Amino acid sequence: MLIHRAKPPDGEADSMRPEPAAAPQAPDVRLRFPVDREFPVPESEYPLLFQPTESGRPESALYGSTRTRRASKNRLVPSFHEGIDIRASGRDSKGRPRDPVLAAADGVVAYLNRHSGNSSYGIYAVLRHSDRAGEFFTLYAHLSGLAPGLAVGGRVAAGDTVGLLGNTPADIIPLARAHLHFEVGLMLNARFDQWYRKQKLVPDHGDMHGWNLVGLDPLEILLRFAAEPEFTLSEHLRELAPAFHLVFRARRQLDFFERHPAAWSGEPYGGPAIFMAVSENGLPLGGRNASPEETHRLGRARALVVDVNADVLGRNGARLVERANGGWKLAGAGERWLGILVY
Mean pLDDT of the 118-138 span = 96
Whether residue 34 contacts residue 102, with contact meaning beta carbons closer than 8 Å, is answered with yes
Mean pLDDT of the 315-324 span = 97
Q: How far apart, in whole angstroms, are the C-alpha atoms of residue 298 and residue 305?
A: 9
Q: What is the pLDDT of residue 16?
A: 52
User: Tens digits of per-residue pLDDT, 188-237?
Assistant: 999 999 999 999 998 889 999 999 999 999 999 999 999 999 999 999 99
Q: What is the pLDDT of residue 3?
A: 36
* 20-24, 69-73, 273-277, range with the lowest pLDDT: 20-24
Bridge partners of 180? 86
Domain boundaries, the chain: 14-20+232-342, 43-227
CATH topology assigned to domain 43-227: Glucose Permease (Domain IIA) (2.70.70)
Q: What is the pLDDT of residue 27?
A: 82
Q: What is the pLDDT of residue 25?
A: 56
Whether residue 320 contacts residue 282, with contact meaning beta carbons closer than 8 Å, is answered with yes
Q: What is the pLDDT of residue 206?
A: 93
Query: What 3-state class would DSSP assign to 339?
Result: helix
Q: State the pTM of this model.
A: 0.91
Q: Which of 304, 328, 300 is nearest to 316 (CA)?
A: 328
Q: 17 falls in which pLDDT band (50, 70, 90)?
A: very low
Q: What is the pLDDT of residue 343?
A: 97
Measured CA angle at 82 (ends 161, 68), to 5 deg: 130
Q: How far apart, in whole angstroms, are the C-alpha atoms of residue 79 and residue 67?
A: 5
Whether residue 186 contacts residue 214, with contact meaning beta carbons closer than 8 Å, is answered with yes
Q: What is the pLDDT of residue 1?
A: 36
Residues 6+ apart with CB under 8 A from 25: none
Give CA separation, 300 vs 111, 159, 323, in Å: 40, 52, 20
User: Tens digits of per-residue pLDDT, 36-66?
Assistant: 999 999 999 999 999 999 999 999 999 999 9
Mean pLDDT of the 265-293 span = 98
In the chain, pLDDT over 70 holds for what percent of residues?
A: 93
Q: What is the pLDDT of residue 71?
A: 86
Q: What is the pLDDT of residue 282?
A: 98
